[in-house]
Homo-oligomer: A and B are copies of this chain.
Amino acid sequence: MKSPTSENVLKALADYLAEDMLACNREIIARMQSDVPLIPQLAAHLVAAGGKRLRPLLVLAAARLAGYREQGEGMRHIGVAACVEFIHTATLLHDDVVDNSQLRRGLASANAVFGNKASVLVGDFLFARAFQILTAGGSLPVMAILSAASATLAEGEVMQMTTQNDLTTTVDRYLQVIYGKTAALFAAACETGAVVAGADEQTREALRQYGANLGMAFQLVDDALDYSADQAVLGKTVGDDFYEGKVTLPVLAAYHAGNKDDQEFWRRTIEDSDDGQQDGDLEHALELIARTNAIDVTMDKARDYAQAASDALDRMSKAGLAANADMEPLRQLLKDVAIYTVDRAR
């Protein structure tokens, strides 16, 4: 048997939930329709680009793990999963516009193909559509969780913007940023799954914590990958964060561990990323990051969060676990997803 990797544990999870995922994909396609043809065209560009659908997968998994048993038409966790994907897609569309990104998952970004205007507006449409679907679903707790997560997401993005080019950003502040921009929606995805399943408070909280910690691990790995030579394989441009002067943990760790010259280098390239960068700077940044073990620092942190995510699943209520003992393989899969998330960077 080949050893598990991030990719194949995620695939195993998607396989375990294959029927739910199929229904979710159908729901996503059905609900992004509009009488204005450009909307489904642009939305399909992202949908077709085939993200991992990680967030809807978390909704579905959390719902099943917490005991949601419905099958067939009218499954309530499907609509919630589609909404979470719409909210995520809306933020991707807006991010690519504000960052002027030309690539997304190795393909031309929606703004590169359809323009900024269409990307902003279709993002708005998907966001509104998500709340339409949620309203039709009729669960006020689900709406409360997802509207709060959406606000936190925007706050995280604004906070990230204000920490950009600023090397006085503390590690705590950085962790707040990635909680907002990534972990909050992961947490909400898992929590809404539990709510749809009618889980007790303890199980709901355990799943929320699973999502939050998984999200933190996930973003830390993503930030490490941005300084990893292997990442071109993943369809991302190497050094994006560096060129934008984003203050992520690899940079902070290398900056804090660096000597006077190194710190001078980081200030020039990160604090003045627009005008201060020269040819060869990315290569030098990668050297400094290697020399200061900044990727290890980042990955250790990611590993801590991944472990915390896995541990959270041991805190589901005994009654809940007993009632859903048949879901034990799913619980193991989710633990694997957390643990093997951190191998994406190798």
We find that the number of chain A residues with CB closer than 8 angstroms to chain B is 44
Query: How many copies, total?
Result: 2
CB contacts under 8 Å to B, within A239-295, are: none
Question: Does any Cβ of B come within 8 Å of A116's Cβ?
Answer: yes
- CB proximity of A153 to chain B, nearest CB, Å: 7
The reply to whether A124 and B125 contact each other, CB–CB distance below 8 Å, is: no
Residues of B within 8 A of A98 (CB): 116-117, 120-121
- Contact, CB under 8 Å: A135 / B140: yes
Distance between Cα atoms of A4 and B218 in the complex (Å): 61
Shortest CB–CB separation between residue A31 and chain B, in angstroms? 10
A169 within 8 A of B: no
> Which single residue of chain B is at the shortest CB-CB distance from A143?
B135
A64 interface residue per 8 A CB criterion: no
Could you say which of B36, B91, B94, B134 contacts A155, with CB atoms under 8 Å apart?
B36
Chain B residues whose C-beta falls within 8 Å of the C-beta of A153 in the assembled complex: 124, 128
Q: A120-B120, A144-B132 are in contact. Are A125 and B155 (CB under 8 A)?
A: yes
In the complex, A324→B330 CA distance in Å? 59
Knowing A122-B158, A158-B118, A158-B122, the reply to whether A150 touches B131 (Cβ < 8 A) is yes
Q: CA separation between A17 and B109, bound complex, in Å?
A: 48
Quick check: is A315 within 8 A (CB to CB) of the other chain?
no
Say if the beta carbon of A129 comes within 8 Å of chain B: yes
Which residue of B125, B134, B140 contacts A151 across the interface (Cβ within 8 Å)?
Answer: B125
Q: Assess whether A325 is interfacial by the CB under 8 Å rule.
A: no
Contact of A161 among B97, B117, B136, B151 (CB under 8 A): B117
A195 CB to closest chain B CB (Å) equals 13
Known contacts A117-B98, A121-B98, A124-B91; A39 and B155 CB within 8 A of each other: yes
* Given A155-B35, A161-B117: A124 and B122 interface contact (C-beta under 8 Å): no
Cα A158 to Cα B99 with chains together (Å): 21
Apart from A39-B155, A121-B154, what are 10 other A-B pairs with CB-CB below 8 Å?
A38-B161, A118-B161, A122-B158, A123-B124, A127-B128, A127-B150, A128-B147, A132-B148, A136-B144, A143-B143
Minimum-distance CB pairs A-B, first 5: A128-B150, A125-B154, A128-B151, A98-B117, A131-B147
25 CB contacts below 8 A, A to B, read A36-B155, A36-B158, A39-B155, A90-B124, A94-B120, A98-B116, A98-B117, A118-B158, A120-B120, A121-B158, A122-B158, A124-B150, A124-B154, A124-B157, A125-B155, A127-B128, A128-B147, A128-B150, A128-B153, A128-B154, A129-B147, A132-B144, A135-B143, A135-B144, A136-B144
